[in-house]
A = this chain, B = another copy of it.
Amino acid sequence: MQRFLSFMTTARLNPSASCFLPRGVGLQSPAYTRMIGTMICTKCKTKAVLKLPRHNAAFCKDCFNSFVQDQVLKAIRTQEMFTKNDRLLVAVSGGKDSLALWAILLKLGYNTDALYVNLGIGGYSESSQEKVVHFSETVAVGYGAVLHVHTVEREEGAGIRELAMLAHRPTCSTCGTIKRYQFNHAAIRHGYDVMATGHNLDDEAARLLGNVLHWQSEYLEKQGPSLPASVDGFAKKVKPLYRLTERELAAYCVLNRIDYVVEECPMAKGARTLLYKEVLNRLETESPGTKQMFYWGFLEKSRQTGAPTTVIEKDRSALHPCSLCGQPTTAETCSYCKLMVRAKTSPAR
């Protein structure tokens, strides 16, 4: 099992792997059996496939799937994210988290379509789109779910690397602006009630650590996993995977044969979030449960101080429609329109 877990951590480094299993090792192979050993499932006492130190438990495939679904249901219910009557739009990237989220929500019977934004990052975007389309055509279609695709290069006239260069903005912030805008735009345009993203516990704990290290009060207020549609033109945004770790979601994909892009985005190298994840992993290794204690503890504290209500009030007093596109913004023109104007009027174009 130890070897399996350590492999689960290092596999990210192998760009040719299409899932978290080594080449030539199938889920039923003797090599895999040797790796996972003879650990017993905490629930049903059959052979376990995964150990979860933060819950002091080990699970077989079926019990692990139940655990994952329970955590998602708990997130949806305690944070009042949505009901079976709502139409959901999942933002999928081709990575493990968002594909697992789409799969879980469909399995749980939620009415869930998806949006893929092709950012035009060469082979990485091509490969990501392939995984998304494959999942859509082999799994989602069976539930009657629809995949929307937005291709930045076609719609905005250039990929994000070029747009960032033209607008003199860092690529990652350009990417963030475009994705946030297009996801919200699609949700509003197609009449979805709620927009869901695949942010997991590692993502949220890392983001929280960054915000706490800088004591960024404004961002801290918006760190909840369920942001209301505070004003017209903003979709409600939720993160149903905030109770599950990166490692658990990778395992979910491996066990359920969901094929996803293993590589990090090539533009994300050296990103601060990866550093925060690294130090949180160090703390988690020494003291399992640190991440959930940190993030869930923060949510509990925010609930007590009434932070979600503050967000709605602040949004309502600060936001008004963008003069160019109409999406809510605090400035005269929203950051997406500003970016596009800068890129399109750049002398380098």
A residues contacting B by CB (< 8 A) are 212-215, 217, 272, 275, 278-279, 282-283, 286-287, 290, 293-294, 297-298, 300-301
Q: A279-B279, A279-B283 are in contact. Are A297 and B214 (CB under 8 A)?
A: yes
Contact B279 A275 (CB under 8 A): no
- Other A-B pairs beyond A275-B282, A279-B279, A282-B282, 15, CB < 8 Å: A212-B294, A213-B283, A213-B290, A213-B293, A213-B294, A214-B293, A214-B294, A214-B297, A215-B297, A215-B300, A217-B301, A272-B287, A278-B282, A279-B282, A279-B283
Copies of chain A in the complex: 2
Which residues in B have their C-beta under 8 angstroms from that of A282?
275, 278-279, 282
A180 to B290, CA, bound (A): 28
Q: Which residues of B contact A294 (CB under 8 A)?
A: 212-215
Q: Which 7 A-B pairs have the closest CB atoms?
A: A215-B297, A279-B279, A213-B294, A215-B301, A275-B286, A279-B282, A212-B212
Could you say which of B212, B283, B301 contacts A275, with CB atoms under 8 Å apart?
B283
| Identity of the chain B residue whose Cβ is nearest the Cβ of A283 in the assembled complex | B279
Complex Cα distance, B300 from A59, in Å, reads 46
Chain B nearest CB: distance from A281 CB in Å? Answer: 10
Name A276's closest neighbour in chain B (CB-CB).
B283
Bound-state CA distance A311–B95 (Å) is 48
List 14 contacting pairs A-B, 8 Å CB cutoff, sorted by A.
A212-B212, A212-B294, A213-B290, A214-B293, A214-B294, A215-B294, A215-B297, A215-B298, A215-B300, A272-B287, A275-B282, A275-B286, A279-B279, A279-B282
